[in-house]
Chain A
Amino acid sequence: MGVLVAHRLLQSVVVVLGVTLISFIALHAGGDPTYLFVSERATAEEIALVRQALGFDRPLPVQYLSFVADLARGDFGTSLSYRQPAIDIVLGAFPATIELAVFAFVIAIALAIPLGVVAALNRGTAVDGSITILGLLGQSIPNFWMGIMMILFFGLHLRWFPISGHVPFLLPLLNGDLATAFGNLPRTIYFLVMPGVAVATYSLARNTRLVRSSMLEVLGQDYVRTARAKGLAEHVVVVHHALRNAWLPVVTMIGLEFGFLLGGVVVTETVFSYPGIGRLLFNAINQRDIPLVQAGVILLAANFILLNTVVDLVYARLDPRVTLARRR
């Protein structure tokens, strides 16, 4: 297990380095990046000054090494529009995004498991058919459009839910202000319902399909037949014998889904004017605030990689065969 952990961590470090290399390449993809940092009316002298100040006049390998060294120290550069360190601004927006992603994640899992199980147990019936069609539909709707439709219907027409805004829960919690945090919680959730459902739609659909197929596979196994033959109650067979074994592929998928959710969050936040990283990135993109875009993207990617590593390790704990397979 120790070897596996070390191996996996090393792999993640390499991938994070890869992300920094890709963002470095992206920065230089359009030629001299100095022009991204100066106004269109800048004179040649001003451009030369900025180029020198940002170090773009040095050889590329040197630039890359100092780029990585800066990142390692938490220096992502200064935001062009805020005139503050980009990392501070991104970290300030992180808690709101995590709230949204976790909320969407919970919806995507909590509904997917019962729906998938019900579909599998009723294979070939109208129930299964409807769940399958809904699953396909959920995978075909752009999540931001889902958000727009919900704003139109549940927000503007029925007036059930707020169409924008956010009540912080994580931020007061991190600051140790428990009273405010838990006092806020009901309203936090109320504001999260619409953006949360919009972000979750795709994953919910995909997870449901996955749980269904995983369950179908397990339900056909001999040990399930044996359990039934022993005369065990159907719910015991389903929960203890089938669902338990259907878990494994689902856990792997869950890790990937969370990253996918983070990606979806970027666009959906914009729709709901939700004050997280997504909206920050959107504004940064529109103002061509390159350091801010880079800080947001790299931190999101690093988070995703970290999560995947954790999921892999959890998976190895759940399924002893993973370690055995590596040792062979």
Chain B
Amino acid sequence: MNTRGRDTRRLWRSLRAAKWPMLALLVLMVVAVVAAFGPWLAPFDPARQSIGSRLAEPMADVQGVTHWLGSDVLGRDVLSRLLYGARISLLVGLAAIAVGGVIGIVAGLLAGYFGGWVDDVTMRLADMQLAFPFILLAIMFLVVLGPGVGNLILVLGIGQWVTYARIVRAETLSLREKEFVEAARALGDSTGSILFRTILPNIVAPLTVIASFNVASVILTEASLSFLGLGVPPSVPTWGSMLAESRDTLLANKWWLAVFPGLAIMLTVLSFNILGDWLRDVLDPRLRDR
């Protein structure tokens, strides 16, 4: 507990000294607040349609109503949809990481600790999945299962397990020979306790780094899949589905429908990437440039 408290303080000091990561953290905090309190912050109901104010330009005054970021083809407020979208995009990203992380960590621990056929099977499966672009796999499953937040989380999560499994396996392989693991074994600790209480806490640093990059790539993939019509059902606003809808009005130069959701994605992903870069340098210099 003590060492972890020290680690946190060390992280915090180094974060305050670094300009970009601090900024990235601020952006992510804003996104998190928006995701949590979006419904209270949104000036309009994101699903409210209004024929009178269809395709209103940003800041334009239409019949006494101002849509700060404009309105879409059904007269729905872009800002409100963006705020609601933050919730789904972030939820999908984090939940997918949780699903992929749990599968990957368990698989990696077992493969690294037991070796033998458990290791062989796990790693061959991982190789196979890495052997072709994940988005193709996602398309295959989602086209059959149909769009939906649950399906999306599941498929994106399955897409991520390999990354965690490989790192956890490699770390477990080296840790299982260490004295403190030997000691736990000699004390008669159960295998589960050795895996999850003795080994796992020592792999938290690289996992944190991977997870922050992962959220970034999952959000990008979610946007791509939603854009293809494979993400969430059409009525649910996400940043990706808002971009998909913007396609129809693009040629009419309704730029605000395309610019703002994309900016939201970019800023969020950029922040996760900057934070990931920085975490890697601070927590685990060995992972640099991987």
Contact = CB atoms under 8 A, between A and B. Distances in A.
A184 to B, nearest CB: 25
Contacts of B243: 142, 144-145, 148
B128 A149 contact: no
Given A156-B251, A259-B133, A140 B273 contact: yes
A67 interface: no
B230 interface: yes
Interface in B238-281: 240, 243, 246-247, 250-251, 253, 255, 258-259, 262, 265-266, 269-270, 273-274, 277
Contacts, number: 143
Interface string B193-229: 0000000000000000000000010001001100111
Given A140-B273, A297-B136, A15 B131 contact: yes
A30 B146 contact: yes
A15 B127 CA distance: 8
Nearest to B131: A15
Contacts of A23: 140
B246 A139 contact: no
B253 A152 contact: yes
Contacts of B127: 15
Chain A interface mostly helix, strand, loop or mixed?
A: helix
B212 to A, nearest CB: 13
Given A141-B266, A145-B266, A136 B132 contact: no
Interface stretch (A89-97, A233-241, A279-287): A279-287
A288 B240 CA distance: 20
Contact of B144 (A148, A271, A290): A290
Nearest to B262: A145
A262 interface: yes
Contacts of B145: 29-30
Given A144-B227, A286-B229, A281 B262 contact: no
A149 B228 contact: no
B133 A36 contact: no
Contacts of A36: 144
B274 A293 contact: no
A142 B269 CA distance: 9
A285 B229 contact: yes
Nearest to B222: A142
A84 B128 CA distance: 31
A305 B129 CA distance: 11
Nearest to A142: B223
Contacts of A210: 289
Contacts of B135: 263, 266-267
B136 A305 contact: no
Contact of A285 (B230, B240, B250, B255): B230
B273 A136 contact: yes
Interface in A37-94: none
Given A136-B270, A259-B133, A297 B262 contact: no
B180 interface: no
Given A263-B136, A285-B139, A293-B143, A271 B247 contact: yes
B138 to A, nearest CB: 10
Given A140-B216, A152-B250, A260-B133, A294 B140 contact: yes
Nearest to B253: A156
B250 A151 contact: yes
Interface in B120-164: 127-128, 131-137, 139-141, 143-146
B175 to A, nearest CB: 25
Nearest to A28: B144
B289 A213 contact: yes
| Max chain B C-beta neighbours (<10 A), residue from A33, A36, A145, A282 | A145
A294 B136 CA distance: 10
B140 A270 contact: no
Interface string A144-172: 11001101100010000001000000000
A152 B228 CA distance: 20
A262 B133 CA distance: 8
A262 to B, nearest CB: 6
18 contacts: A19-B128, A27-B140, A140-B269, A141-B266, A142-B266, A152-B250, A156-B251, A163-B251, A209-B289, A210-B289, A213-B288, A263-B136, A266-B228, A270-B227, A293-B140, A294-B140, A297-B136, A305-B132
Closest 9 CB pairs between A and B? Answer: A263-B133, A140-B270, A145-B262, A213-B289, A301-B132, A26-B140, A140-B269, A18-B128, A15-B131
